[in-house]
Amino acid sequence: MKIALACDHGGLNLKSAIKKHLEKLGHEVVDFGTNTSDSVDYPDFSEKAANSVAEGQTECGILVCGTGIGIGIAANKVKGIRCATVGDTFSARMTKAHNNANMIALGERVTGIGLGLDIVDAYLNSSFEGGRHQNRVDKITAIENKNL
């Protein structure tokens, strides 16, 4: 898969580990930064990765900041993005299966590298179930179309 990655300074170590992990699995990674530990503003990096997913340049995206919250909120402001902040493998699986999330966000200050990589695998190895969940995702899109 072609996967977008982005982080702020609070998520750099986990993003680097995820990048290495994905490349080892044979995925193509598009890294939107940041790539230093200098303090930056997470919306700047989140927006770039989210746009690449929304425009179809990448198939999905993985974001990391200190908590996974700010960078995920920012991504959800881009039309067409459904980004879930996840800290466990069950939620990672379910957000693909039920919400058809096209991005996930993780918090490096919350989640260790081992669990973080398991969360990424759980998300990538799951599939959207469609059916009644499609109807609900369509309703999310309708809210977006009305309000964004």
- The catalytic residue positions are 65, 98
For residue 147, how many other CB atoms are within 10 A of its CB?
6
116 binds ligand RB5 (CB under 6 A): no
Which residue, 40 or 137, has its beta carbon nearer to ligand RB5?
40
113 binds ligand RB5 (CB under 6 A): no
- Residue pair 2/30 in contact (Cβ under 8 Å)? The answer is yes
Min CB(3)–ligand RB5 separation in Å = 20
Nearest to 50 by CA among 4, 11, 93, 7: 4
d(CA 110, CA 32): 22
Length of the chain: 148
Please report, to the nearest 10 degrees, the dihedral formed by the alpha carbons of residues 115, 121, 123, 129 taken in order. -130
Please report, to the nearest 10 degrees, the dihedral formed by the alpha carbons of residues 120, 96, 101, 74 taken in order. -40
d(CA 54, CA 121): 22
- Contact characters 64-83, ligand RB5, x per CB under 6 A: -xxx-xx-------------
- Contact characters 16-55, ligand RB5, x per CB under 6 A: --------------------------x-------------
Min CB(75)–ligand RB5 separation in Å = 12
8 binds ligand RB5 (CB under 6 A): yes
Min CB(63)–ligand RB5 separation in Å = 10
Min CB(119)–ligand RB5 separation in Å = 17
Binding site for ligand RB5 (CB under 6 A): 8, 10, 42, 65-67, 69-70
